[in-house]
Amino acid sequence: MTEWCNFLGALQTDKRLQVAVSAVLMLLFLQAIGVVHICKFIRDYQGLIGTLVAGGIGFWSVNQTLRGNAATTREQREREIAHDRDTVRATILAELTVLHRVLVHMLTVAQAMSTKGKFWIPKFIRGSELTRAYFAVIEKVRLLSTEQIVAVVTAYSSYEGLSEITRVVGEAQRGDSTSDTQKPIDAFSVYRRSIETAISHVRVAIETLGGIVEKLTVTRLPAEEEKHS
């Protein structure tokens, strides 16, 4: 029964098999109307018919085997791609979670400094520790959806841009630049908003990847708490 179902399935998709079946049906039709005597036809051309039938069956068998192998290979490849996609998503999601904590801590420090009336901009040193995983899987980031790729690239770009922004506003604050941002508080505001922007982009990336953003709040540092106690 299974073989018959397979044959009917192949008949619907294999044009060569359809031609062969059509030829047999045509001979039966000609036999029915008396144009061809099938028994005599088979006896006269049995050698040729045997060769054609054997070749047709062999070709059909090989064709089915190749189709089966191709389907198996395709399914295996799809499983590998799905596995790689899940791995990339989990890897980046874990790193973005850590990056989010670091950025929130940076904003906490900035808030504490502004509360004390201190507006100097600390030197920002961007290490590779918080982007190492991203660059390790960057060749497979293309496996993610377009929305996920945009969110991830934007998040990391915002973080990496903090180094240059800190340098520029730091120079402006010290008067080493011709920038219009000369007042210490103005430069510090730019610095703080840059951190807030990076945090926002990281949160969007985490949610887009299917993660849950940790509910971290900007709180006073221990020294600040002692001051108010």
Q: Which domains does the chain have, with CATH numbers?
A: 2-75 (no CATH), 81-228 (1.20.120)
Per-residue pLDDT in tens (0 to 9) along the chain, 229 residues: 565 566 556 556 666 666 666 766 766 666 666 655 666 666 666 666 667 667 777 777 777 788 888 888 888 888 999 999 999 999 999 999 999 999 998 888 888 887 777 777 776 666 678 899 999 999 999 999 999 999 999 999 999 888 888 877 777 666 654 444 445 667 788 888 899 999 999 999 999 999 999 887 655 444 444 444 4
* Cα–Cα distance for residue pair 84/142, rounded to 1 Å: 11
SS3 content of the chain, % helix, strand, coil (to 5): 80, 0, 20
225-228 long-range contacts (CB < 8 A, ≥24 apart) are none
Residue pointed to by tokens 């950025």: 103
This prediction has a pTM of: 0.64
161: which residues sit within 8 A by CB, 6+ positions away?
194, 198
